[in-house]
């Protein structure tokens, strides 16, 4: 834009009938007055060349600045930790134990947003700081469902938000983990409303429950598994004439959608299932209460009947870990078996040499993979860790092979178990229905 002539700069310009036109700028804001540490008057020459006087005094200089812009918030908000840049503060916070995260969320709004973000926990996982906790669902003698989280670092049980109302008294519902930190409850039977299609999930990063899309079919006492981070549900029962189901459906969390896949060969109510060698094995009861077993391959979307040695000696609970299939060989879980493909049979793997008794409280309810070790959870909430990757399987020469952790219920001695049996006090007050591991 050309410079104003001496005639146009004269104070009598308007009296002589000349009209002053304001120079064109790319905003209604006055760039002459943005000299508050952002731009200098000299820097404003590309907008108002050769002028040091504001020629748009009636225009609000803040008219075009967005409210609460990210740059403005960053400039005025306090640091996460006084005296440290935010990147170093985040590096420090990622190393805080998971048990303290609920307290950190109460420090400030910035702490709350940070410790509820996927970025923070993805960074913890990348740095190897993510922690695994054991989540247990129990049913008491009145049929009510409660759940508990065990922190292996501090070896204590941590508080959790209440179970959703629909699952406080539900029967035969499923439980699975997707994406490592989302725990899903799905299906089941309400004592009053009957079979359900409902699905909810708990986000361990935010410590909250959320609603998910319902299943396609109402069902309870079904089989479920996770393959390729997709949730599969098969068989079970529903209300109506044809109670036993053969339908199978899968949930993709990325698409947030349920869809049917190939049905099983026959209707079944599964009572045991495991993913092993890329296949989903199920064993259960048919419509006429006969024992059935099938295997599903997701790549080919096909089911085949299985009658080999694995199925014959397969017992619950079981776990596929490090390419091997493990199962318990006694009620208290102190003996472990492993399936050998070469001989198509189950073999003795390890014996703890310390047996806890056969009472319902001591019964092993679940096997899970916890920090690379086989974890045995019993109804009394006692936990044992077994290092199945160790080459030395002898307890006498490897005392660290089998480790007992005192949970909510401490491991009883043989004398205590015997006295409970004599006095008739070994009734099963509560029992575990599901057990999962979440990583945060």
Whole-number pLDDT of residue 406: 54
- 270-304 per-position pLDDT tens digit: 999 999 999 999 999 998 899 999 999 999 999 99
Write down the residue that tokens 């393959």 correspond to: 227
HSE at residue 403, side-chain half, CA atoms within 13 A, is 14
pLDDT for position 14: 44
- Contact between 360 and 426 (Cβ < 8 Å): yes
Q: What is the pLDDT of residue 72?
A: 54
Which of 416, 357, 351 minimizes the C-alpha distance to 386? Answer: 351
Helix (H) or strand (E) holding 310: helix 309-312
CA atoms of 325 and 277, how far apart (whole Å): 9
Q: Please, which contacts does 314-319 make with residues 24 or more away whose CB atoms are closer than 8 Å?
A: 314/272, 314/281, 314/283, 314/339, 314/346, 315/272, 316/271, 316/272, 317/364, 317/365, 317/366, 317/367, 318/272, 318/274, 318/367, 319/274, 319/367, 319/368, 319/369, 319/374
Q: Which residue has the tokens 């840049």?
A: 85
Q: Has residue 8 got a pLDDT over 60?
A: no
Kindly report which listed range (21-35, 223-237, 337-351, 363-377) carries the lowest average pLDDT score: 21-35
Within 59-200, residue ranges assigned H as helices are 70-76, 86-93, 101-104, 109-114, 118-126
Residue 197, C-beta contacts closer than 8 angstroms, at least 6 positions apart: 187, 214, 215, 216, 217, 218, 219
Bridge partners (DSSP) of residue 284 are 270, 292
Of the candidates 190, 213, 191, 188, the one whose C-alpha atom is nearest the C-alpha of residue 200 is 213
Q: Name the residue among 383, 439, 417, 378 with its Cα closest to residue 138.
A: 378
6's enclosing H/E stretch is helix 6-9
59 close to 29: Cβ distance less than 8 angstroms: yes
Backbone angles phi, psi at 17, to 5 degrees: 90, 5
Q: Which of 4-13, 22-31, 149-158, 296-305 has the highest mean pLDDT?
A: 296-305
Contact 29, 61 (CB under 8 A): yes
User: Residue 419: which H helix or E strand, with range?
Assistant: helix 414-423
The β-bridge partners of 133 are 438
3 state SS of 133: strand
Number of residues that this document lists for the chain? 440
Angle made by CA atoms 209, 214, 215, in degrees to the nearest 5: 125
Domains in the chain with CATH codes: 23-66 (no CATH), 78-126 (1.20.1280), 132-439 (2.120.10.80)
Q: How many CB atoms lie within 10 A of CB 415?
A: 8
Q: Average pLDDT for residues 12-35, to the nearest whole number? A: 41
CA distances to 107, 330, 364 from 271, in Å: 46, 18, 16
Q: In the predicted model, what is the mean pLDDT of residues 411-416? A: 39
Determine the pLDDT at residue 194.
94
Q: What is the rounded CA–CA span in Å between residue 93 and residue 110?
A: 12
Q: Which residue do the tokens 């009883």 mark?
A: 412
What H or E segment, with its residue span, contains residue 423? helix 414-423
* Cβ atoms of 253 and 213 closer than 8 Å: no
Closest CA to 273 of 143, 367, 382: 367
Higher pLDDT, 217 or 312: 217
> Tokens at residue 202, please?
């708990």
Report the pLDDT averaged over residues 80-109. Answer: 94
- Residue 73: pLDDT band with limits 50, 70, 90: low
Using a 10 angstrom Cβ sphere, with 0-12 exposed, 13-18 middle and 19 or more buried, the burial of residue 213 is: middle
Least Cα distance to 427 among 59, 25, 140, 170 occurs for 140
High-pLDDT (> 90) share of the chain, %: 67
pLDDT tens per residue across span 214-268: 999 999 999 999 999 999 999 999 987 679 999 999 999 999 999 999 999 999 9
The Cβ-side half-sphere exposure at 58, using a 13 Å CA radius, reads: 1
The residue to which tokens 């079944």 are assigned: 268
């Amino acid at each position: 834009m050309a410079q104003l002539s001496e005639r146009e700069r004269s104070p009598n310009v308007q009296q002589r009938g000349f009209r002053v036109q304001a120079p064109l700028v790319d905003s209604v804001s006055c760039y002459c007055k943005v000299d508050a540490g952002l731009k200098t008057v000299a820097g404003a020459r590309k907008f108002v060349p050769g002028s040091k006087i504001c020629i748009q005094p009636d225009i609000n200089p803040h008219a075009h600045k967005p409210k609460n812009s990210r740059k403005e918030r960053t400039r005025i908000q306090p640091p996460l930790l006084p005296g440290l840049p935010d990147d170093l503060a985040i590096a420090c916070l990622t190393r805080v134990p998971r048990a303290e995260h609920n307290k950190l969320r109460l420090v400030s709004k910035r702490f709350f947003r940070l410790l509820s973000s996927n970025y923070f926990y993805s960074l913890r996982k990348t740095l190897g700081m993510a922690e695994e906790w054991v989540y247990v669902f129990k049913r008491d003698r009145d049929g009510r469902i409660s759940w508990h989280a065990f922190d292996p670092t501090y070896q204590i049980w941590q508080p959790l938000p209440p179970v959703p109302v629909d699952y406080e008294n539900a029967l035969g519902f499923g439980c699975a983990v997707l994406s490592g930190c989302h725990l899903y409850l799905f299906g089941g039977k309400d004592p009053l409303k009957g079979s359900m299609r409902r699905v909810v999930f708990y986000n361990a990063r935010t410590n909250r429950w959320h609603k998910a899309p319902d299943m396609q079919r109402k069902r309870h006492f079904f089989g479920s598994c996770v393959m390729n981070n997709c949730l599969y549900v098969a068989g079970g029962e529903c209300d109506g004439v044809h109670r036993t189901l053969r339908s199978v459906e899968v949930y993709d969390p990325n698409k947030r959608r349920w869809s049917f896949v190939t049905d099983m060969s026959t209707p079944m109510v599964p009572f045991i299932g495991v993913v092993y060698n890329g296949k989903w094995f199920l064993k259960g009861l048919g419509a006429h209460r006969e024992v059935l077993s099938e295997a599903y391959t997701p790549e080919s979307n096909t089911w085949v009947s299985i009658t080999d040695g694995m199925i014959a000696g397969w017992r619950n609970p079981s776990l596929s870990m490090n390419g091997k299939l493990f199962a318990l060989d006694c009620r208290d879980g102190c003996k472990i078996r492993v399936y050998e493909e070469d001989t198509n049979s189950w073999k003795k793997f390890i014996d703890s040499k310390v047996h806890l008794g056969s009472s319902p409280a001591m019964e092993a309810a679940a096997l899970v993979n916890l920090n690379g070790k086989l974890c045995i959870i019993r109804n009394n909430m006692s936990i044992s860790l077994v290092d199945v990757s160790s080459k030395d399987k002898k307890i006498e020469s490897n005392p660290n092979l089998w480790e007992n952790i005192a949970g909510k219920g401490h491991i009883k001695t043989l004398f205590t178990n015997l006295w409970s049996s004599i006095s008739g006090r070994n009734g099963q007050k509560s029992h575990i229905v599901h057990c999962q591991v979440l990583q945060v």
